[in-house]
Amino acid sequence: MKLFRGFRAILYKEFIVIFRDRMTLFFMLFPPMVQIVAFGFALDNDVKHMPMVVLNEDRTVESRALIDAFVNTQTFRVVGEVNSVEELAEQMRRGKIYMGLQIPPDFTRNLRAGRKATVQVLIDGSNSTTALQALNTALGIALRRSLDVLLGETGRRELPIEVRPQVMYNPAMRAPNFFVPGVIGTALQIAILFAVAMSVVRERERGTLENLLVSPMSRWGLMLGKLVPYLCVSMLMAVLLFGILRWVFFVPIQGSLIALMFSALLFIFALASLGLLVSTKAQTQNEAMQMSMTVMLPSIFFSGFIFPRETMPWIFYAFSTLLPLTYFIQLMRGIVLRGAGLRELWPQLTVLAGMGLALFSLCALRFRRKIG
Amino acid sequence: MKMIECDNLTKRFGHLTAVDHVSFSVEKQSIFGFLGPNGSGKTTVMRMLCGILEPSDGTGRIAGVDVAAETDRIKGSIGYMSQKFSLYDELTTNENLLFYGRLYGLAGDALRTRRDELVALTHLEPYLAQRAALLSGGWRQRLAMACALVHKPAVLFLDEPTAGIDPVARRELWDLLFELSSQGVTLFVTTHYMDEAERCSQVGYIFMSKLIVCGEPDELKLRPEVNPPGTKRLDVTCDHVTIALPAVRKLAGIRDTTVFGQSMHLLVDAQMPEQLIRDTLAGAGIHEVDIRHIAPSLEDVFVALTKVRA
């Protein structure tokens, strides 16, 4: 075919080069594995067993019951008792504890007399996530105990309203279920972008590109021949990562495998095309590396991988719609966690396919079969 | 038939003019030697003729086809061996050949037959299964050459094909070039070696972006700039050339001197008696002296013409 002249030759050569060049293959396959395991275990925002100290100036059954209530939530564990507020503050400054509970001497007296009994809770606000959780837990405990007291006074046996939460799709609210699908996206992105970004510029640096340009090869043939081998290797990588998701992190895949693989393919196609574009623009491998980094970093922050996109200022939200990773993370969470299929997720799939086609065409059309 | 034609070919990079109105033509089957110092524009001319660099002005033609306007039509007729023999290091000799064959649309039996022909021509047989990365300079060069020939081009461009390879490989490459030429291939070779230039059927010398001379080596040596009227060229062979040279230089009527190993090449006034040189050297304590008339070498030609330009 004239449009794709040279495609089969490039394809043949590129497959050999990828599989012979152990370094490239290693750097494509190994880091994503490490990333998924490391990120998967480290990125856990379930806050549990935060260290706290108690300054108990009351020393009664009631005050001890209150401390137990804190421990029973499993959010906190008591690591010690202190004798003064200064001591408590000192421990917090050192970063030893997240929370300090101060129970004043008149706590039980006030409680029994039906007056307002106060306790002081000191929270380390330097980490907003843990602080928020500590605060909510503390407020919850106080509310619950207050209600118990009120119930006793009114004679009612149950609360007027009861919320029965049922968390769908990730009932245990495990963090790996939420994070690992996203990690797969970022890991794939890093490996593919770096590998593909080197592919054309390496030939430019080595001088072999000149030989290709002299030949009757067409630019579509060159681009497709470069793209397809990386698509294959990346799909292999995606399968491995899905395997880790399923059998290492025990995240059940609710949706269909076909939808999953199809999403991965479109995502990889878009990314590899982006890598190709970088590679045809860059004059040196160094330049290609820097250009890839420029794409990669914002993806990690703005794609919704860690921070929800909905709370971002509109400009970042708008920016995030340009990132392939944004759509892939939505697809992954949809398919893996919610069991969504192509019927629900076609908008994301269409966007990825469109991005891939547009970027790939741009590569081929803007690539000049000239040097300089 | 003119296989390569340049008509006021010019290339500017911003303010820099890399190639300045270069015109010449090369007949079919000839070996055209393109000489000039580094950075004078040799590679730029070659790249324009191969259609991978857009000329800023002027035209280049391969077998009558404009290289800029109809780039795709010349691709089948030209082979190009770039500097430093760019090959795919991860591929073996055999795979490199097959790759370039496929790139030019060969397949199946035709591809294998052509591969075997090229292997026979370049004697690459023992290295077929070896990675290109492990080949020595001379073998890399042969492989690069075989790859450039895979589609039987009518014109073969070689950019410094003998740079950095041993003398044996260099001679063998030239044997190969003559063989190709006898088969009807037109060759365009850039080089720094004067002895290689002497073997070409036609040479061009580019200096500071301008082609300052072009023609057959023998014809160039007869140029008036090279042989100023009323002068002759002498080869003076004697001991202690380093002592002899300053002594001779003082003589009136000496136009130019160059040392060639154990001898000096002198450009002197025609009427200067050889005995005067013998006497001068005897005065410097050198008695064994042999003086011969010589024709100018190509180097003399280029030196003379460069001086005229400068």
User: Which of A195-199, A265-269, B36-40, B176-180 comes out lowest in average pLDDT?
Assistant: B36-40
Residue B145, chain A, CB below 8 Å: the answer is no
Interface ipTM: 0.86
Residue A168, chain B, CB below 8 Å: the answer is no
* Domain identity same for A295 and A185: yes
Please, what is the end-to-end C-alpha distance for chain A in angstroms?
Answer: 28
The minimal CB distance from B102 to the residues A8, A211, A214 is found for: A8
A13 and B80 in contact by Cβ < 8 A? no
- Asked if the model's pLDDT at residue B127 lies above 60, the reply is yes
pLDDT digits (tens, 9 = 90+) for B293-307: 888 888 888 888 888
Predicted local distance difference test score (pLDDT) of residue A328 = 95
Quick check: B116 and B146 in contact, CB under 8 A?
Answer: no
Question: What is the DSSP secondary structure assignment for residue B133, as one 8-state letter?
Answer: G
Contacts 24+ apart (CB under 8 A), B43-46: B43/B83, B43/B159, B43/B190, B44/B11, B44/B18, B44/B19, B45/B6, B45/B9, B45/B11, B45/B19, B45/B206, B46/B80, B46/B157, B46/B159, B46/B188, B46/B190
User: Which of A239-248, A287-296, B264-273 comes out lowest in average pLDDT?
Assistant: B264-273
* Domain identity same for A360 and A219: yes
* Domain identity same for A355 and A317: yes
pLDDT digits (tens, 9 = 90+) for A98-117: 899 999 999 999 988 888 88
The alpha carbon of residue A3 is apart from the nearest alpha carbon of chain B, in Å, by 13
Question: Is A160 part of a structural domain of the chain?
Answer: no
Average pLDDT over residues A235-261: 90
Percentage of residues in chain A having pLDDT higher than 90: 40
Please identify which residue in the block is written with the tokens 């279920």.
A177
Please, what is the end-to-end C-alpha distance for chain B in angstroms?
Answer: 35
Predicted local distance difference test score (pLDDT) of residue B138 = 87
- Asked if the model's pLDDT at residue B289 lies above 90, the reply is no
A211 and B100 in contact by Cβ < 8 A? yes
Q: Which residues pair with B57 in a beta bridge?
A: B10
Residue A214, chain B, CB below 8 Å: the answer is yes
Predicted local distance difference test score (pLDDT) of residue A1 = 53
The alpha carbon of residue B248 is apart from the nearest alpha carbon of chain A, in Å, by 49
* Domain identity same for A257 and A342: yes
B80 and A211 in contact by Cβ < 8 A? yes
* Domain identity same for A232 and A342: yes
- Asked if the model's pLDDT at residue A45 lies above 80, the reply is no
Most confident region among A167-171, B69-73, B253-257 by mean pLDDT: B69-73
The alpha carbon of residue B266 is apart from the nearest alpha carbon of chain A, in Å, by 44
The total domain count for chain A is 2
Instruction: Tally A–B CB contacts below 8 A.
Output: 76
* Domain identity same for A192 and A313: yes
The minimal CB distance from A16 to the residues B82, B95, B101 is found for: B95
Burial of A128: CB neighbours in 10 Å, binned 0-12, 13-18, 19+: exposed
Q: What is the mean pLDDT of chain A?
A: 88
* Domain identity same for A29 and A59: no
Question: Is A308 part of a structural domain of the chain?
Answer: yes
Domains and CATH numbers, chain B: 2-220 (3.40.50.300), 231-294 (3.30.70.100)
Quick check: A225 and A9 in contact, CB under 8 A?
Answer: yes
| Among A19, A205, A215, A220, the residue to mutate for chain B (most B Cβ within 10 A) | A215
pLDDT digits (tens, 9 = 90+) for B208-267: 898 888 888 888 888 887 888 888 888 888 888 888 888 888 888 888 888 888 888 888
Predicted local distance difference test score (pLDDT) of residue A260 = 93
Residue A259, chain B, CB below 8 Å: the answer is no
Query: Where is pLDDT greater, at B98 or A49?
Result: B98
Question: Is A163 part of a structural domain of the chain?
Answer: no
Question: Is A75 part of a structural domain of the chain?
Answer: yes
Average pLDDT over residues A16-36: 84
The alpha carbon of residue A234 is apart from the nearest alpha carbon of chain B, in Å, by 21
pLDDT digits (tens, 9 = 90+) for B143-154: 999 999 999 999
Query: Where is pLDDT greater, at A143 or B277?
Result: A143
Question: Is A165 part of a structural domain of the chain?
Answer: no
* Domain identity same for A147 and A216: no
CB neighbour burial string for A180-205, b if at least 16 within 10 angstroms, e if fewer? bbbbbbbbbbbbbbbbbbbbbbbbbb
Distance CA(B302)–CA(B306), nearest Å, equals 6
Predicted local distance difference test score (pLDDT) of residue A44 = 63
What does the H/E/C string look like for A161-187? CCCCCCCCCCCCCCHHHHHHHHHHHHH
Instruction: Tell me the C-alpha to C-alpha distance, in Å, between residue A212 and each of A220, B68, B149, B150.
Output: 13, 17, 14, 13
In the numeric block, which tokens belong to residue A132? 């928020």
* Domain identity same for A125 and A205: no
- Asked if the model's pLDDT at residue B188 lies above 70, the reply is yes
Question: Is A164 part of a structural domain of the chain?
Answer: no
Domain-ending residue, one of A154, A184, A219: A154
Query: Where is pLDDT greater, at A70 or A265?
Result: A265
pLDDT digits (tens, 9 = 90+) for A133-159: 889 888 998 888 888 888 888 888 788
Predicted local distance difference test score (pLDDT) of residue A46 = 65
Is residue A363 very low, low, confident or very high in pLDDT (cuts 50, 70, 90)? very high
Contacts of A155 (CB under 8 A, 6+ apart): none
* Domain identity same for A139 and A267: no
Domain-ending residue, one of A154, A182, A203: A154
Which chain B residues touch A11 with a CB distance below 8 Å? none
Predicted local distance difference test score (pLDDT) of residue B292 = 87
DSSP output for A9-28: HHHHHHHHHHHH-HHHHHHH
> Rounded to a whole number, what is the largest CA-CA distance in chain A?
96
Residue B102, chain A, CB below 8 Å: the answer is yes
User: Which of A256-270, A325-339, A357-371, B295-309 comes out lowest in average pLDDT?
Assistant: B295-309
User: What's the predicted TM-score (pTM) here?
Assistant: 0.81
Most confident region among A45-59, A127-141, B97-111 by mean pLDDT: B97-111
Domain-ending residue, one of A123, A154, A185: A154
pLDDT digits (tens, 9 = 90+) for A5-17: 999 999 999 999 9
pLDDT digits (tens, 9 = 90+) for A320-349: 999 999 999 999 999 998 889 888 899 999
Predicted local distance difference test score (pLDDT) of residue A8 = 92
Residue B98, chain A, CB below 8 Å: the answer is yes
The minimal CB distance from B86 to the residues A17, A206, A370 is found for: A206
Distance CA(A324)–CA(A187), nearest Å, equals 13
Residue B84, chain A, CB below 8 Å: the answer is yes
Query: Where is pLDDT greater, at A224 or B286?
Result: A224
Distance of CA A217 to the CA centre of its chain: 41
* Domain identity same for A222 and A351: yes
| Coil, strand or helix at B141 | helix
Q: What is the mean pLDDT of chain B?
A: 89
Question: Is A235 part of a structural domain of the chain?
Answer: yes
- Domain range for A266 is 7-43+174-366
* Domain identity same for A117 and A192: no
Distance CA(A341)–CA(A336), nearest Å, equals 10
Quick check: A170 and A252 in contact, CB under 8 A?
Answer: no
Quick check: A80 and A53 in contact, CB under 8 A?
Answer: yes
The minimal CB distance from B52 to the residues A5, A208, A370 is found for: A370
- Asked if the model's pLDDT at residue B45 lies above 80, the reply is yes
- The domain that contains A121 carries what CATH number? 3.40.1710.10
Pairing mode, strands A50-56 and A76-81: parallel
Question: Is A142 part of a structural domain of the chain?
Answer: yes
